[in-house]
Amino acid sequence: MEQPKISLCMIVKNEEKNLPRCLKSVQNIVDEIIIVDTGSTDSTLQIADEYGAQVTVYPWKNNFSQARNIGLGLARGEWILYLDADEELSLQAQKAIGKLLNSPEIEGYIVEVVNYTGKSVDSSRLVHQNCRLFRNRKEYRFIGKIHEQILPAILKNHSNAQILKTDLQIYHYGYMEGDDNRISKVQRNINILKNELSVLKENSFLEYHLGIAYYELGETRLALEWLKKSFQHLNQGYAFGPTLVRNIALCLYDLAEYRETISFIEREIKNHPDYTDLHYLSGLCFIKLKNYSRAIKDFQKCLLLGEVSSKYTTTFGTGTYLAYYSLGRAYHGLCDTEKAIKNYVEAIHIEPSFTEPLYPLVKLLKKKYQNINLVLSHIETEFDFATDYGLGLMADLCGILREDQLALSYLDRIKASGELSRDLKILYAKSLLGSGRYNAAYDYFNNFTVQTEQMQGLILELCLATWLKNPRESIQKINVNLLELLDVNVKNVLYSIDQLWALDKEQSGIKKFLKDKAQQLGFGGKENIYIQLTKQISTNQEEYADTVLYVLEKCLRYRGIELFKKSSRLFLELNIDQWKLHFFLGELYYKYEYYNEASDEFLKSLEFGVHNERVYHYLGEICEQRGLLSEAENLYCHALNMNDHVLEYHLSAIRVALKRTRRVIKQIIKIMPRSKDINNELKVIDYCLQKLG
């Protein structure tokens, strides 16, 4: 029996970057390639010709179905496969597609479209189903000017037609971050959808896609409005109904409307009880609300249901590795270190490209072992990090733990076999800065002249390297074009620090910088300009304070404590409650393990009469680290008296009470070393302390 022929049908415009990948994936599968070009001005037509495609140039008329149907009319194969240029047929689909063509009772096949959504082809992907392979019949034509569909035509002409779901996959790269054409395509789609709706007035399908388009642009509130309109007009039985529910919940979650999200899901989940994504979103909301026990139930339900890509549009992983990761976060919130570690590890084992759990994992391991070598040994035993990618990841983890010298050792191992990638060069520069090699760090940072997403941070770190290598050196040496790339608040703060640190002028700071800047711009003594600029600071107090804190934290991260202390004078020019200022500074000191300075700041915050429970808990932790257990217990109890809803406060009080008991028991054992009961008590306490971390 002769194998039925397949015609690949596509519409394209300016797809020179994507088209070769797409056509290469089907060149040994399809018998002809039909391309309808709607006005390419790049090398798209030449690439199509190289793959033997039959090209028809067709003027774009804001109608996707019309363009697709031109291609269908030219196809001669018994079957139609349609793809977009930013897609490719998976290797699994390439091998299996031929076996589907000899079943006379089947009119079409539904495949899984895997949409990659991250910066690279990794674990970030959204999966939905679509009919992409169907019989070539003249009555089968696409409908809809946008988000065109073929299934309605098939079912209209063959009401009993069998459309079979398959596990064949098409990979779609158009949603990935960094796609330059994506925004313009979405805006084009919005215009078409609005024009259609101006005629039809109400259409749930078009309203749904308009909501999705606005979501892609980051206009979440507008997206939610359109999705809710679609939901109001939705007729029962529409295939996109469950996805609509999911996306409304997703918008509510993104807008931090956690209780409303939960209420909405609870109302709708009875209609879709096996939709893993709804349970997953519910769990994420409970984590945000710190109801960790309830979140655990949701994520366990996700694991019970598993992946549902064959039935629903889904974020892949909600039934496996994402659920394990979220379970780890929930147990982390409950201070159950062992279960958190176990679930983080399980998530990475299932999906090795999903590295996000590694970062909380190493922090928990550091807390557990109190020894960096044991932490790294645990990680290297659990996972295979022998490749250059793995070594780079280990270096990044060391950076998170502020073990910069170790980070350099991992990166040097990569350098021994080849050149570092741009991202690893950036990490190398940061590790040099963190390990105190300021001159080398300065040279590295000075070489990053091409703009990247990390440019703001790189310029800030270049400024830090400038000051730390030579306290009398001004950042005015740095290329002014680089400094102009900075956010205006960051730039103002950096210039102010420069005056405090390198130039050491009196009355320096943000206000001094703005006054000087006004004079440089030729305003001279026009006080109204200076007043206008300083009023801007007064208007944006919180914004400026946040920027100062951001820059100050970088100082401590790279061990510039003297720079930090001097730069913190910038707060004197901002109208901030003094207790809050000392509390913020104390938190930063505490985070970077400057405990003496943290204690001083926390005590100063209490002097202003505002008794914050977190201050007492921080002071309790510092006392506990110093072995002052009675003082620590009193401080923990004080925090508990102020707020007994925080689990961490309870666990801290229990832990320090056990430590005090352990200290007493060890004294008794010195007197009664052979007492079996006393020694057993010590073992029980040691076990409990181990569990408490």
pLDDT in tens, 533-554: 444 445 567 778 888 889 999 9
CA distance 489 to 400: 26
Would you kindly state where each structural domain of the chain is located, as residue ranges?
6-177, 352-430
Q: Percent of the chain scored above 90 by pLDDT? A: 69
The distance between the two most distant Cα atoms of the chain, rounded to a whole number of Å, is: 97
CA distance 554 to 461: 8
CATH number of 6-177: 3.90.550.10
Q: Where are the beta strands (DSSP E) in 260-318?
A: 314-315
The pLDDT value given to residue 671: 85
Asked if residue 140 lies in contact with residue 75, where contact means CB atoms within 8 angstroms, the answer is no
- 634 or 610: which leads in pLDDT: 634
Query: How remote is the C-alpha of 245 from its chain's centroid?
Result: 23
pLDDT above 90 (res 463):
yes
Q: Which long-range contacts (CB under 8 A, 24 or more apart) does 58-61 make?
A: 60/13
Our CA dihedral for 666, 669, 670, 675, rounded to 10 degrees, sits at -170
The pLDDT value given to residue 693: 66
The owner of tokens 């666990």 is 651
Mean pLDDT of 618-627: 94
Q: For 444-461, what is each residue's pLDDT tens digit?
A: 998 886 666 778 889 999
Mean pLDDT of 244-251: 98
CA distance 77 to 645: 68
pLDDT above 80 (res 488):
yes
DSSP-assigned letter for residue 502 = I
CA distance 206 to 196: 8
* Token pair recorded at residue 583: 């509390």
Report pTM. 0.87
Asked if residue 334 lies in contact with residue 647, where contact means CB atoms within 8 angstroms, the answer is yes
SS3 133: strand
Mean pLDDT of 471-488: 84
- 537 or 268: which leads in pLDDT: 268
The pLDDT value given to residue 179: 67
- 423 or 610: which leads in pLDDT: 423
Query: Mean pLDDT of all residues in the chain?
Result: 90
pLDDT band at 572 (very low <50, low <70, confident <90, very high): confident
* Token pair recorded at residue 176: 């990935």
SS3 583: helix
pLDDT band at 635 (very low <50, low <70, confident <90, very high): very high
Q: For 45-85, what is each residue's pLDDT tens digit?
A: 999 999 999 999 999 999 999 999 999 999 999 999 999 99
| 559 half-sphere exposure, CB direction, 13 A CA radius | 13
CA distance 74 to 95: 26
Mean pLDDT of 408-436: 93
